[in-house]
Chain A
Amino acid sequence: MNKEYIIVAFTENQVGVLNRITIAYLRRKINIESLKVSETSMKGISMFVISAFTTEETIQKLTRAIRNIVEVIQVSYYTSDELITQEIALYKISSKFFGEGGRIDAISRELGARMIEISPGYVVMEKTGTREEIEQLRDRLERQGVLLEFTRSGSVVLHRDSLDNILGLESGEEE
């Protein structure tokens, strides 16, 4: 059964690692829904968070294939409820949504969002939350016909465990 799986990989921060990892998806014709790469709190070690819809059997094999890449230190797969996951989204909202001046602060509090920029024609809001929360606000603004533009970060995740424990090379098989 197809389901969203998130692969979290820790790698050497080197040229080409991103390609090698995405090739593992490409050769199995799996579309990547979102992908985030950045350096961790440990210098020289990058963290990849990749989400894709596939089966558990495929994600297991994919995880092993990614583990075999020379620069990959550790890799695991998760379902979305197993990680501390947040996304950041930016919403460009038409000014007409806010009506007369003075209500923007109140509305942004009500939406659980933060005001980033105000222009004569629009207001940019930022919201951090789970994918569902981000989607709910997007739906609401779209229904009202006031959402001008929208962008999101993809999942930003944290392990519940410490990075030292995760990367500890003594810890046997990780999958």
Chain B
Amino acid sequence: MANKIKISGSDALILSLIAEGTDVMFGYPGGQVIPLYDRLYDYKDRIRHILTRHEQGAAHAAQGYARATGKVGVCVSTSGPGATNLLTGIADAMLDSTPMVCITGQVPSAILGTDAFQEADIISMSMPITKWNYQVTTASEIASAVAKAFYIARSGRPGPVLIDITKNAQVEEVDFTYRPCTGLRSYNPKPKMNGSAAEVVELVNAAKRPLILAGQGVKLAGAEKALVEFAEIGNIPVATTLMGISAIPNSHPLFVGNLGMHGNVAPNEMSQAADLLIAIGMRFSDRVTGAINAYAPNAKIVHVDIDPAELGKNLRCDVPIHADALEALEAFKIGLKHVDRDEWFAFAKEKAEEEKHNVKGFCGEACNGFITMSQVIQKLAEVEEGDAVIVTDVGQNQMFSARYSKFNATRSFITSGGLGTMGFGLPAAMGAKVGVPQREVVAILGDGGFQMTMQELGTIMQNKIGVKILVLNNSYLGMVRQWQELFFNSRYSFTELENPDFAKIASAYDIPAKRIIKPEELEGALREMKEAKGSYFLEVAVLPQENVFPMIPAGASLSNMLMSND
């Protein structure tokens, strides 16, 4: 890469992306990126560009790609509206620590600030939701900006970065050499472990009721194996956050379930009863803790995070460990003892039984012949046997997917955790499938979220992306409906949807499609979806009144879980 050649800024950008290992980008052309797209035409054999149907779809697809592969996702848009359409995906990636490089076109530098056609101040707009951003106004800055962008996006706590490139910089000629960025004096993404591993080990050895809370940081650090080893050596139960799901297989005997508002009874009750919480790569979000003052009243808190701003941000912290999750988990194994904790595991089992007994799907036998969402996800888990990548939208579909899906491998559950972005599911699933084409990828969507980004069916058709699409149609914005029922006297204010025939829409995009309404059709339809070679669309009409339980009402303590409507 060290040999100098004179090329256009657009070529420099493309060669820089290739040098960083980019093989796919999701994008949408427009006035201020036409020079870039013109050059892209000649690199079709080296970079696969996927034309989405909306820039938001490009951003979410890049996220899905990044989350499934661990690589940096790349998306491109033009200036102005193209750039502003990326913002939802960027904000989502910021909250969920997803490495992403977004490239936006910009008006020529000579007319910046003049309210030129399709000019938007995307640097200012994206500043609070990017890890870093930069405006390039000359071709000579391109290589170093891209190098810095990738380095920042993928190192430390990953996140989205944005490079805004003026049109003149895309067409100017430049002497091109590419040097990857290996460090910045103001940025220390991977510090030496700060905190005492010995102190942690001592606490763990002495604990009667310890619980590991595993977040997405475990996946981001590639620490899944180390997590399991640490848990096994110490005989410590493991719970995952929504973002941590699939970091440990569901079948692992030490796995006790998911935390949070719609998590399992056992890990939530265990958080309250624990004498030690070992939090790894998670951030004690309000969805995990419930009322923070009543959270984990008896526990000492060990908190491991690569982002020091997280330590003590939401919750008191007795032993802060500023470190990469892998490094910390390896260090925690030294001197760790296997401790029998029969009472503690019996407690976990008892709480799991309690959940089984109290949360019986929605209405058991009395569903008037309707299929329920919980049935669909449980049946899907059976059919897919834990090997599929599940990508969800947001709402009830997401919570049922988190509750009932089963996973054998990491990076298999992709969801919008922090921002809760409806419309995320379909484009993210598309990006995931592009990233891991050998794996089965299923998008689980509600009828509301599907309609926010359903134009991406066109992208799936044109690029032959073999993603499976499962729409749980209850003709409601179900999660809001649930809150209205439980907390707003069943006043269903603007949550009922009159929907089109979704299967017809999918068929119009040449995607094999089916709609089912009867419970006896369910298993056959799911198997047909699984067997389909390419993309497949299955709409399941489900019971409108089904609610997700257990549920911890917003602001309540974890000890006050609702198990049913009554």
Q: Which residues of A contact B (CB under 8 A)?
A: 11-12, 15-16, 19-20, 23, 27, 60-61, 64-65, 67-68, 70-73, 169, 172-173
Contacts and interface: CB of A to CB of B under 8 A. Distances in A.
Given A23-B128, A60-B312, 14 more contacts: A12-B186, A16-B127, A19-B127, A23-B127, A27-B128, A61-B313, A64-B309, A67-B308, A67-B309, A68-B307, A68-B308, A70-B152, A71-B186, A173-B194
Contact of A68 (B133, B309, B322): B309
Contact of A70 (B135, B184, B194, B312): B184
Contacts of A72: 186
A48 to B, nearest CB: 13
A15 B184 CA distance: 16
Contacts of A19: 124, 127
Nearest to A19: B127
A70 B308 contact: no
B185 interface: yes
Contacts of B123: 16
B465 to A, nearest CB: 34
Contacts of B308: 64, 67-68, 173
Nearest 4 pairs of A and B residues by beta carbon = A64-B309, A73-B186, A70-B132, A70-B187
Given A20-B127, A23-B128, A73 B309 contact: no
Contacts of B489: none
B185 A169 contact: yes
A11 B186 contact: yes
Contacts of B322: 173
B127 A172 contact: no
A23 B127 CA distance: 8
A73 to B, nearest CB: 4
Contacts of A64: 308-309, 313
B188 A16 contact: no
* Interface of B: prevailing SS: mixed
B131 interface: yes
A106 B184 CA distance: 55
B109 to A, nearest CB: 13
B185 A73 contact: yes
Nearest to A26: B128
Interface of A is mostly: mixed
A173 B193 CA distance: 11
Nearest to B131: A70
A65 B310 CA distance: 9
Interface of B: 123-124, 127-128, 131-135, 152, 184-188, 194, 307-309, 312-313, 322
A60 B188 CA distance: 19
Given A70-B152, A72-B186, A172 B309 contact: no
B91 to A, nearest CB: 13
A132 B187 CA distance: 38
Contacts of B184: 70
Nearest to A71: B186
13 contacts: A11-B186, A12-B186, A16-B123, A16-B133, A16-B134, A19-B127, A61-B309, A64-B308, A70-B184, A71-B187, A73-B185, A73-B186, A169-B188
Contacts of B185: 73, 169
A172 B308 CA distance: 12
Nearest to A23: B128
Contacts of B133: 16
Nearest to A63: B309
Nearest to B189: A70
B167 to A, nearest CB: 19
Contacts of B312: 60
Nearest to B194: A173
A73 B187 CA distance: 7
B186 A172 contact: no
Contacts of B307: 68
B100 to A, nearest CB: 15
A169 to B, nearest CB: 7
Contacts of B135: 15
A7 to B, nearest CB: 15
B124 A70 contact: no
Nearest to A61: B313
A70 B186 contact: yes
Contacts of A15: 135
B534 to A, nearest CB: 42
B205 to A, nearest CB: 27
Nearest to B133: A16
B123 to A, nearest CB: 7
A71 B135 CA distance: 15
Which of A15, A27, A64 is most buried by chain B, counting CB atoms within 10 A of its CB? A64
Contacts of B152: 70
A71 B130 CA distance: 13
A27 B94 CA distance: 15
Nearest to B134: A16
